[in-house]
Structure 1
């Protein structure tokens, strides 16, 4: 008598994603009630006077009013001119108006650790040697 259930693991298709997301959200919200009903995207692009996209920020506010910064990018020839800081401050201000109390993100040592430190973020964790010879850095900032 075989009491071990059999399982099949297969590649996830687009139609499976909603069930997975809904499943984890349902579990999480059964443990900690939401402060917000949905993910609120805060996504912006910045353009030069010619209308060319020279940077952008992809982020959003989640169930518990945390600003999650996913990507901040500025074109190389526009870096070190305050553009990234303007984008970051713009998003943080909107997030605060919407009730966010904390911002969080991750970066790599070859990306923007110094930039985020300069903008008031604090390192809260690191993964050494990822990718090999580098580190992944997790940062946060109180927005209140």
Structure 2
């Protein structure tokens, strides 16, 4: 007889169990180089103290810089601020032993920006969202 299984929304406690489970499996396959996730989150403020750019990223078990979000306020785009915070983050990651950076973006976001900053396309999903592309990029640090 097949056991009765239940699918339900995930709680924070469930998420912790899931993350612990995948981390345990991954580390049983390949030993960690770093002990834990090292956040590298930064913000740039203007002279009035208003946030005009920010990056959410970090270094994982195998010394890869994983860039989750990089944002620049519209009025400050194409001024070099995005490159400034990206370079600052890459330098901080290198100092902590990171050897590669990785991220994803969409064709309507920042593909050209990342290419200009030395990233290479390593894959993409066509027609997602419809009429666009999701692009995966990487760069050796």
Aligned to 2:4, the other structure's residue is in SS state coil
Cα drift, residue 14 of structure 1:
1.3
Cα drift, residue 91 of structure 1:
0.3
Match of 2:56 among 58, 69, 93: 58
| Post-superposition CA distance 1:66-107 (Å, at most 9, x none) | 000000000000000000000000000000010000000000
1:133 aligns with 2:136: no
* CA RMSD, Structure 1 to Structure 2 (Å): 0.5
Trace 1:91-110 onto structure 2 (pairs within 5 A). Answer: 91-110=89-108
Aligned to 1:87, the other structure's residue is in SS state helix
Aligned to 2:40, the other structure's residue is in SS state strand
Cα drift, residue 119 of structure 1:
0.1
| TM-score, structure 1 normalization | 0.97
Trace 1:22-37 onto structure 2 (pairs within 5 A). Answer: 22-37=20-35
Mean Cα deviation higher: 121-130 or 12-21: 12-21
Give runs of ≥4 in structure 1 deviating > 4 Å.
none
Whole-Å Cα distance in 1 between the matches of residues 35 and 23 of structure 2?
A: 11
Whole-Å Cα distance in 2 between the matches of residues 6 and 37 of structure 1?
A: 38
Q: Gaps spanning 5+ residues in structure 1: where?
A: none
Structure 2 partner of 1:111: 109
Aligned to 1:57, the other structure's residue is in SS state strand
Cα drift, residue 5 of structure 1:
2.1
Structure 2 partner of 1:19: 17
| TM-score, structure 2 normalization | 0.99
Give the aligned length: 141
Structure 1 partner of 2:46: 48
Whole-Å Cα distance in 2 between the matches of residues 121 and 97 of structure 1?
A: 19
